[in-house]
């Protein structure tokens, strides 16, 4: 297990039953980057990856 998996596991345990919109998630990511600007690049990469996850034309 990676260290980051603990946060993912906590998210799943605490909020796994909730349904959220992608707009809500985008707002949360913006708020996080405002609070922790040093994570702007990883958050941007995650957001782009999520946006393109099902794009058959996207080259990985």
Using an 8 Å Cβ cutoff, are 46 and 39 in contact? Answer: no
DSSP state of 58: -
Q: pTM for the whole thing? A: 0.75
Using CA atoms, how far residue 48 sits from 14, 15, 32, in Å, is 25, 23, 16
What per-residue confidence (pLDDT) applies to 23? 96
Query: What are φ and ψ of residue 7, in 5° steps?
Result: -65, -40
Q: Which residues of the chain have pLDDT under 50?
A: none
For the chain, domain boundaries: 17-55
What per-residue confidence (pLDDT) applies to 7? 87
Give the whole-angstrom CA distance, residue 42 versus residue 45.
Answer: 5
What per-residue confidence (pLDDT) applies to 38? 98
What per-residue confidence (pLDDT) applies to 54? 85
What per-residue confidence (pLDDT) applies to 59? 59
């Amino acid at each position: 297990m990676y260290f980051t998996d603990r946060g993912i596991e906590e998210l799943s345990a605490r909020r796994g039953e909730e349904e959220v919109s992608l707009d809500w998630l985008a707002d949360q990511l913006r708020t996080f980057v405002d609070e922790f600007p040093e994570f702007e690049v990883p958050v941007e990469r995650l957001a782009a990856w999520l946006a393109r996850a099902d794009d058959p034309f996207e080259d990985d």
